[in-house]
Amino acid sequence: MRKVLVLGGDGFCGWPTALHLSDAGYEVIIVDDFSRRKTDIELEVESLTPIQPLGERLRVWREVSGKNIRHVVITIGKEYHRLLELLVTEKPHTIVHFAEQRSAPYSMKSSSHRRLTVNNNLSATNDILAAIVESKLDIHLVHLGTMGVYGYGTAGMKIPEGYLKVQVEEEGRFVSSEILYPPNPGSIYHMTKAQDQLLFAFYNKNDGLRITDLHQGIVWGTQTHQTRRDEYLINRFDYDGDYGTVLNRFLMQAAINYPLTVHGTGGQKRAFIHIQDSCRCIQLAIENPPEKDDRVKILNQMTEIHRVRDLAKLIADKTDVAIAYVDNPRKESPENDLLAVNDQLLEMGLQPITLSDKLLSEVEQVAKKYSSRCDQRKIPCLSKW
Ligand code: USQ
């Protein structure tokens, strides 16, 4: 049985991915220090869905599936030698790296949040890469990156998967090459993911590491086939102004009839993917690794592109909730164009779940069901930049 370490396996993407891989026959070990749960304590907010302690989640998963997922507490980026020892002892086939602070608004709250995000994310990534090198094992690293490294706004061009073909004229002849797509991050958080790309390129070139970087869009939805199997397996659902992402926030706001908080004109175009597809993409990435001498493999992990105000209108039309155009707390283009390629995951067999398939069932089955747990004071986005 192939062994996979899921770093950050108690979080919003990590937990359903750990279950998905366990269900698919992988031996899964979660490495997580509960930092996401500690941030909830700092922000005085809770997941809309009642998430269970990790030990309970794992016990119930054993009960319903007959499969065992182990858990190790290591703070990635701080406890290097424990991480190295884990690699040497367990000899995983793949490491899936979710162990980063993932909220843009959180990263922009104050200088201490900027520093925490940079220190945490960059040292986590560097420690994992250095530990793979020191272990001398041929471990494939699958990293959850973001579409936000590209910036949003493509002047009519489709964003390629990681690399941009460039051609320059040199003394009358054309020379062409492929370079990493120039990063243009919009927050400290997104900037750390742009820096991660350079670490990957270096370790790939210098040490021959096999790395897949998944540039993921905004995830929506909550439940997957596995998290639905028991109430105790439910995934987290963030709706607050720091960690809640736009579509899930709108779904929850519609469920409690709270006017949808569109930032500015809502002209921002963004890429989206359902949480179930996100798990499936991780499995596809694990099963289609780069060859030994390949460059870093970059996949755009997104399935649909929408404008924020169109999403608000779609939900408002289906649920009768009002739309509130609020001052945009972020420094971002009020209107942008966005086109992107996602050919590689489609070629590997991804069959995307679309908004039209699932949107209303998410409002009914999750957002409405747990709406009494919502603290409305936590909805506004207070982090401004
Ligand atoms: N927005 C609203 N109203 C809201 C919340 C957000 O109009 O109530 C707008 C924002 O101003 C922004 C867009 O919706 O223009 C997306 O915001 P978001 O909070 O859903 O997404 P973002 O901050 O970009 O980050 C999220 C995840 C991050 C991931 C990223 C993918 O938190 O981990 O990397 O989505 S991407 O956006 O493609 O970079």
Which residues constitute the domain of residue 353?
3-378
pTM: 0.97
- Per-residue exposure over 322-342, b if at least 16 CB sit within 10 Å of its own CB, e if not: ebeeeebbbebeeebebebeb
Amino acid found at 113? H
Ligand 1 pocket residue status of 218, Cβ below 6 Å: yes
**Residue 193 designated active-site:** yes
Global ipTM? 0.99
Ligand 1 pocket residue status of 148, Cβ below 6 Å: yes
**Of 193, 269, 297, 378, which is the active-site residue?**
193
299 alpha carbon – ligand 1 mean position (Å): 19
pLDDT of residue 363: 79
List of residues 6+ apart from 143 with CB closer than 8 A: 97, 125, 196, 200, 211, 212, 213, 214
Question: Does residue 385 lie in a domain region?
Answer: no
User: Tens of pLDDT along 120-167?
Assistant: 999 999 999 999 999 999 999 999 999 999 998 777 899 999 999 999
Question: Does residue 241 lie in a domain region?
Answer: yes
Ligand 1 pocket residue status of 270, Cβ below 6 Å: yes
**Of 26, 150, 152, 189, which is the active-site residue?**
189
Count the domains in the chain: 1
Question: Does residue 384 lie in a domain region?
Answer: no
328 alpha carbon – ligand 1 mean position (Å): 12
User: Tens of pLDDT along 283-334?
Assistant: 999 999 999 999 999 999 999 999 999 999 999 999 999 999 999 999 999 9
308 alpha carbon – ligand 1 mean position (Å): 10
Question: Does residue 143 lie in a domain region?
Answer: yes
Residue with tokens 């420094």, as numbered in its chain: 331
Amino acid found at 9? G
Instruction: Specify whether the CB–CB gap between 94 and 139 falls below 8 A.
Output: yes
User: Tens of pLDDT along 263-295?
Assistant: 999 999 999 999 999 999 999 999 999 999 999
pLDDT of residue 155: 77
pLDDT > 90: percent of the chain: 94
Residue 111 DSSP code: H
Q: Which residues pair with 229 in a beta bridge?
A: none
Pick the residue whose CA is nearest to atom 13 on ligand 1: 246
Question: Does residue 343 lie in a domain region?
Answer: yes
* Beta strand segments in 120-254, E: 140-146, 163-170, 173-180, 211-216, 218-220
Q: Which tokens hold the place of 128?
A: 């994992």
What average pLDDT does this structure show over 12-41?
A: 98
Which CATH number belongs to the domain containing residue 81 in this structure?
Answer: 3.40.50.720
Question: Does residue 360 lie in a domain region?
Answer: yes
- Tell me: pLDDT of 4 over 90: yes
pLDDT of residue 137: 98
